[in-house]
């Protein structure tokens, strides 16, 4: 099932990379809108919520809207359906391997081996990972999305950091980045909190979230090191897109059903 998620992301990354000459803010908006539109249709949202996304799509240049409403949208639909099935199966499970840091670190040691730099992007979610990977692929870099995800059942940082005590680490996200650095023999690690801060401060609307997230600055921070190094990019959790009487907005750790329930997963992307 996770293999299906990975294959859909790989297809989306390839499609995004074909337009890699565009600013990454545009690539991100296209990817983000495709996921939200797909989530709203599966969720059965109101016309008001759907119109809010359509108005956001209209801010994308006309030649690129076809991809947003076409291939990206169809892959997003399949991804969300597979993710919903995966999360449902985990709710029935007694032991969640992918929710255990010991299991995840052993997997990364086996599959990744080592990287030069580790980036932990607090609250970064699937649209950011796809956009960043697509941009790097357009620059002729090798990008790999691994078949295992970190599962965060409650969608909050404390679920991950609470496990750091078993590694004799303090319960801070920066310590998780350093733990990954040590296990993957990286030269150093970087923890970036921008997306989480924006989610809490500006995440009440989609357009404000996209405006303040600063994708170009984020990409530049990563690319500064990735130009001559291999990098691992991951997160502690993603974010959710909620549709209610207040409209559409971003949060994480949302406890009810919502169009995008991405706060429960954190993928692992390697660029080399």
Tens digit of pLDDT for each residue in 236-265? 999 999 999 889 999 999 999 999 999 999
Element counts in the chain: helices (H) and strands (E): 12, 10
Region 211-226: what's the mean pLDDT?
96
Which residues 6+ apart lie within 8 Å of 220 measured at CB? none
Structural domain boundaries enclosing 213: 2-271
Which residues 6+ apart lie within 8 Å of 26 measured at CB? 19, 60, 61, 64
Spacing of C-alpha 63 from chain mean position: 26
On the question of pLDDT at 51 being above 80, the answer is yes
Which residues 6+ apart lie within 8 Å of 109 measured at CB? 183, 184
Enter the pTM of the model.
0.96
Of residues 173, 38, 52, the one with CA closest to residue 101: 173
Write down the mean pLDDT value for the chain: 94
Of residues 125, 160, 170, 139, the one with CA closest to residue 269: 125
Which pLDDT belongs to residue 59? 97
Region 187-193: what's the mean pLDDT?
97
- The number of distinct structural domains making up the chain is 1
pLDDT tens string 138-162: 999 999 999 999 999 999 999 999 9
Helix axes 24-43, 71-92, angle to 10 degrees: 60
On the question of pLDDT at 3 being above 70, the answer is no
Which pLDDT belongs to residue 123? 97
For residue 121, the 8-state DSSP code is E
Burial-class residue 93 by CB neighbours within 10 Å (0-12, 13-18, 19+).
Answer: exposed
Burial-class residue 68 by CB neighbours within 10 Å (0-12, 13-18, 19+).
Answer: buried
Cβ 144 vs Cβ 26: under 8 Å:
no
- Residue with more model confidence, 31 or 247: 31
How many other β-carbons are positioned within 10 Å of the β-carbon of residue 76? 29
């Amino acid at each position: 099932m996770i293999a299906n998620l990975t294959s859909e992301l790989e297809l989306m990354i390839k499609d995004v990379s074909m337009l890699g000459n565009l600013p990454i803010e545009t690539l991100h908006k296209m990817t983000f809108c495709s996921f939200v539109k797909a989530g709203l249709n599966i969720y059965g949202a109101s016309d008001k919520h759907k119109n809010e996304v359509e108005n956001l799509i209209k801010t994308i240049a006309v030649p690129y809207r076809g991809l947003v409403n076409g291939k990206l949208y169809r892959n997003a639909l399949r991804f969300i359906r597979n993710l919903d099935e995966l999360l449902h199966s985990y709710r029935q499970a007694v032991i969640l391997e992918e929710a255990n840091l010991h299991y995840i670190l052993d997997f990364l040691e086996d599959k990744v081996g080592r990287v030069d730099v580790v980036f932990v992007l607090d609250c970064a979610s699937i649209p950011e990972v796809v956009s960043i990977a697509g941009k790097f692929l357009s620059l002729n870099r090798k990008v790999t999305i691994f078949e295992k995800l970190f599962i965060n059942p409650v969608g909050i940082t404390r679920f991950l950091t609470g496990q750091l005590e078993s590694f004799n680490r303090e319960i801070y996200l920066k310590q998780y980045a350093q733990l990954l650095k040590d296990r993957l023999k990286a030269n150093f690690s970087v923890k970036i909190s921008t997306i989480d801060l924006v989610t809490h401060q500006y995440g009440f609307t989609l357009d404000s979230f996209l405006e303040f997230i600063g994708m170009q600055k984020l990409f530049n921070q990563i690319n500064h090191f990735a130009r001559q190094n291999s990098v691992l990019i991951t997160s502690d959790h993603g974010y959710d897109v909620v549709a209610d009487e207040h409209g559409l907005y971003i949060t994480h750790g949302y406890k009810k059903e919502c169009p995008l329930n991405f706060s429960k997963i954190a993928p692992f992307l390697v660029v080399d």
